[in-house]
A and B are shown apart, each in its own frame.
Chain A
Amino acid sequence: MKKRTYIYKGFERFWHWSQALLIFFLALTGFEIHGSFSLFGFKDVVKWHDMAAWAFIVLIVFAIFWHFATGEWKQYIPTTKLVKAQISYYITGIFKGAPHPTHKTIYNKFNPLQRLIYLGLKLLIIPLQVGTGLVYMFYIYPNNPAHVGGLGLVAIIHTFGAFSLLAFIIAHVYLTTTAETPLTSIKAMLTGWEAIDVDEKEERSKHLQQAVNDSAAGYYRIDSNGIFVDVNQAWLDFYKCTQRDQIIGKHYSITRDKKDLAELDLLVSRVLFGEFITGVPATRKCMDGSSGKHLLSANPVIENEEVIGMEGFVLNISEAEGLSEHMYYTVRNSGAGYYRLDDKGIIVEVNNAWLELYKYDNKEQIIGKHYSITRSPNEVENLEKSFNSVMKGETITGKIAIRKCRDGSTGRHILSANPVFVGNQAVGMEGFILDITTLEQD
């Protein structure tokens, strides 16, 4: 399962791109010092190379700290598992469109080859470059700071390291293009976000936790003495609590009127004996003295095979809930035709009036079809325009349209349409139609 995930943290990206820039600049200045070309002039280029070297060393110190502080160093622990698979993927599989043999997760960001190469860089090439670079920088006399017998060997090792890094960068930049799209990896390294494989189990438990927290149902937990241990925000809202400590540590008896308390006492004692309660209507007493109705679920909290408390959800049954139920029947029974399309223009819901207007016998005949089926060929364009503008967020309040019925006949109606939102995303279009065929004839 893939999920857009924040995989590269802020410092990590800063470190990566700074390092990239520094290595590039060090190579540029380094090869000028080497005598490969002339750009800055020897005096300035040495100064620049030294400065970049110090910046690199500072960056490395911070990066080492970051890797240990965050535990990210574990990402680099080498593994021989799947190395062969990864190699054979790059040699053959990739050309046939085979899937990546390893999956990127937040705990395993690197494939086994990456682990080996990056670890090699961190433990061999970069220390080699820093070490020889420092000797190079401070070696100004045969015996100072260490007797290395001249710069020859040091310079040659340093040059070797530079060639290795350059070759690495070429391969590294190329291999970033092997993800889903050529720019996927680079975008991820820039923004930090990438669609990666997530651990379903973990994802689920994380999500459930979140769900309880953010649920519209009120969650509560009490201990075996009936004292509140935890509630969520929705619960606080239902009970008109402004602060958690108004309720945490209090006995559940304050949530009921005296006349309703006995019912709850009984329920609690049943649950503490291990029973599950799936949906009981109850009348709560709110903190401000008002009351409300809800459905209550309750189950025992078990730890070490012992019931240590009770938890569950409350679902509000308020005036508004009644209203939405009413609305549901209104639409269902309305004389106006109701329809809903998804973002591809597929019809996902219609009401009876709609079926009647279009002369369908039942829903199954039309659900899953594209809206173009409801128009004669020369009328489709009109609907398509409306659909497109609605999908961009517009609302159409009244437009005359000519429908094509199932039997081929036509009729005229006034059409309303509005986008269906999920979050900030328009995922479909819905609206009503009012038949005006007879009206026109009059």
Chain B
Amino acid sequence: MRIEKESKKEFIKLLVLFMAIITPWILGIAYFSKPADSVAEHSIKLVNYKADVGSRVDHQKFLILQQDFKTPQDVTAACVSCHNMAGQDIMRSSHWTWAREYVTESGDTLQLGKKNMINNFCIGVSSNEARCTSCHIGYGWEDENFDFTDSRNIDCIVCHDQTGTYKKFPTAAGYPVNEAKKFGNTLFQAPDYAFIAQNVGSPSRQNCGVCHFVGGGGNNVKHGDIAMESNQASKEIDVHMAIEGANMDCVACHIADEHNITGNLYSVSSDNTNSITCDQCHTNYPHKNQTLNDHSNKVACQTCHIPKYAKASATKMNWDWSSAGQFNEDGSTLIKKDSAGNITYHSMKGTFVWENMITPEYYWFNGKADHYLLGDKVDTIDAIQVNSLLGSYEDEFAKIFPVKVHRGRQIYDPVNQILILPHLFGKDSSAYWTGYDWNKAAKAGMKSAKLPYSGQYTFARTEMYWPINHMVAPAEESLGCSDCHSRDGHLANLAGFYLPGRDRSIFLDRVGFILIVMAIAGVAFHATLRIAGKRNN
């Protein structure tokens, strides 16, 4: 009887020890398995945002707008007769100047922008103005002699037209047509200026989109994250612009003061002034989970919240100019298309690669960019960086950003070691799209840009970087931890820092593995000897 009692006591003691160790774990599990970060919807925290409602004005009532406008400049004159400071404001803006002031490290102030930089698509503006400036908010910028100080040349209605009838002609230096005219298969009508002028308002997505959605000569060619479908987007494509979602206009985020529209496009911008950030509305602590909020020190919101871009239409990922100039046997323009209708070859432009539902590439980016400036000497060992996003892990201001990298091959002067700005567009035979002679085009283009040309050309690999900011996905589609914290995750190629789950010291892992194996083997060996020794004894 007493023996039983003793062992019972012993058992209870053990049980108490066991419970003391186990109970905190059970409590922990119970506590932590509470659905703290549940998918239960919570309202998104916003500050500073409310839809912009201007004072209501019925422009139809203004007598000055009830005239029979002969030229678009007449409309502008009518606009600025009331909005008498708007002209000055516009002419300071980069939408007008296609350039911004940029202070170099050595202290020089430069005017840098679309006007004098090259890109990875149709290369450069100089000598091609009349084609390029169909997206300029002005009239008549057809060569270097355009007067940037004449407010009558401002195109007010391209941004403010609410009728949807106003269209600039693609090759008319920013002018619409006077009488109906075809461009390819598209018929352009002369605008009804009075009707348009009486129906103006704050720019809608369509207004911005006529240029920005089709940059590079077609839908979604350049950006990848804004395209014609943004006008009719679903939540899956873009939560902000979605018709059934926030249904926000571009200017809801790209707010403007005195016509200076905020936001930087790093194909042309170098500095991070005037930029827009998510936290302006969403605050610095948008998540309930502090760990996620902490991530924003080094990870841009876009990185997790834009897991894919070019979700509907494809975007151009590669443009190889070197193959341009091939024709059908009958001498007509050779055009090849893929099954989705994207042009994959064009005699005028060369070979294209299109993709959609693209996982971005990721780079450290501190909001500042470097650019290839016309005349910069550069070798072709690596791809020439048309622009480069600055920043690194060590950079206090740099974060990981999703980026579209557009790759290509551009005409290059191997003697002077500079990229060539070719004369592409024009009626003259030196224009490539007329004479298909790269040598003449290079000569004319470089002359216009006031740069030397050796007479020799080749094609060099180029890369251009486009940070992705739009096509924000619904929260449940954003990246999860293990999308990056894993061996082959989204950030597999982003070097220069230790990422838990991705990185390790392979040497240490081997040493550790050997250590464990040796420990087990040693134990097994020792145990064997012991057992053998016992038998012998």
Contacts and interface: CB of A to CB of B under 8 A. Distances in A.
Contacts of B518: 167
Nearest to B520: A170
Contact of B21 (A18, A41, A141): A18
B10 interface: yes
B498 interface: yes
A151 B504 contact: no
A159 B297 contact: no
Contacts of A167: 515-516, 518-519
Given A170-B520, A174-B526, A190-B17, A150 B498 contact: yes
B502 interface: yes
A131 interface: no
Contacts of A143: 396
B533 A191 contact: no
A141 B523 contact: no
B15 to A, nearest CB: 11
Interface stretch (A90-98, A298-306, A431-439): A90-98
B512 interface: yes
A368 interface: no
A156 interface: yes
A7 to B, nearest CB: 14
A42 B501 CA distance: 8
A51 B499 CA distance: 21
A136 B487 CA distance: 19
A273 B509 CA distance: 82
A142 interface: yes
Given A167-B515, A174-B523, A152 B21 contact: no
Interface in A384-401: none
B504 A35 contact: yes
Interface stretch (A9-17, A233-241, A246-254, A276-284): A9-17
A41 B480 CA distance: 10
A140 B17 contact: no
A160 interface: yes
A151 B496 CA distance: 11
Interface string B50-94: 000000000000000000000000000000000000000000000
B497 interface: yes
Given A55-B28, A174-B523, A152 B501 contact: no
Given A17-B17, A51-B28, A167-B515, A41 B481 contact: yes
B500 A14 contact: no
Contact of A174 (B480, B486, B527, B533): B527
Interface in B383-426: 393-394, 396
Contacts of A141: 297-298
Category for how many chain A residues contact B: 35 or more
B519 A191 contact: no
A55 B504 CA distance: 26
A152 B32 contact: no
Nearest to A174: B523
Contacts of A95: 529-530, 532-533
Summarize A's interface: helix, strand, loop or mixed.
Answer: helix
A171 B518 CA distance: 10
B104 interface: no
A93 to B, nearest CB: 10
B128 to A, nearest CB: 45
Contacts of B17: 10, 13-14, 17, 190
A33 B481 contact: no
Contact of B498 (A13, A152, A164): A152
A159 B515 contact: no
A155 B500 contact: yes
Contacts of B504: 34-35, 155, 159
Contacts of A424: 1-3
A160 B513 CA distance: 11
Among B2, B394, B505, find the residue whose CB has the most chain A CB atoms closer than 10 A. Answer: B505
A155 B498 contact: yes
B503 interface: yes
A17 B21 contact: yes
Among B14, B509, B527, find the residue whose CB has the most chain A CB atoms closer than 10 A. Answer: B509
A34 B508 contact: no
B534 interface: yes
A192 B537 CA distance: 31
A337 B487 CA distance: 88
Nearest to B527: A174
Among B17, B24, B28, B522, find the residue whose CB has the most chain A CB atoms closer than 10 A. Answer: B17
Interface string B461-494: 0000000000000000000111001110000000
Given A150-B497, A155-B500, A156-B505, A14 B20 contact: yes
Given A97-B534, A160-B512, A170-B523, A191 B14 contact: yes
A46 interface: yes
B516 A166 contact: yes
A201 interface: no
Contacts of B32: 47-48, 51
Nearest to A393: B1
Contact of A170 (B24, B485, B501, B519): B519
A136 B21 CA distance: 27
A55 B523 contact: no
A88 to B, nearest CB: 14
B396 A96 contact: no
B482 A163 contact: no
Contacts of B526: 90, 174
A234 B154 CA distance: 118
Nearest to A168: B519
A43 interface: yes
A187 to B, nearest CB: 10
B502 to A, nearest CB: 7
B8 interface: no
Nearest to B36: A47
A41 B482 contact: yes
Contacts of B10: 191
Contact of A159 (B396, B486, B505): B505
Contacts of B21: 14, 17-18, 21
B332 interface: no
Given A38-B482, A94-B533, 6 more contacts: A10-B17, A95-B529, A156-B508, A170-B520, A174-B523, A174-B526
Interface of B: 1-3, 10, 13-14, 17, 20-21, 24-25, 28, 32, 291, 294-295, 297-298, 393-394, 396, 480-482, 485-487, 497-505, 508-509, 511-512, 515-516, 518-520, 522-523, 526-527, 529-530, 532-534, 537
14 contacts: A14-B20, A17-B17, A33-B485, A34-B500, A35-B500, A42-B501, A95-B532, A95-B533, A97-B533, A140-B294, A152-B497, A152-B503, A162-B512, A166-B516
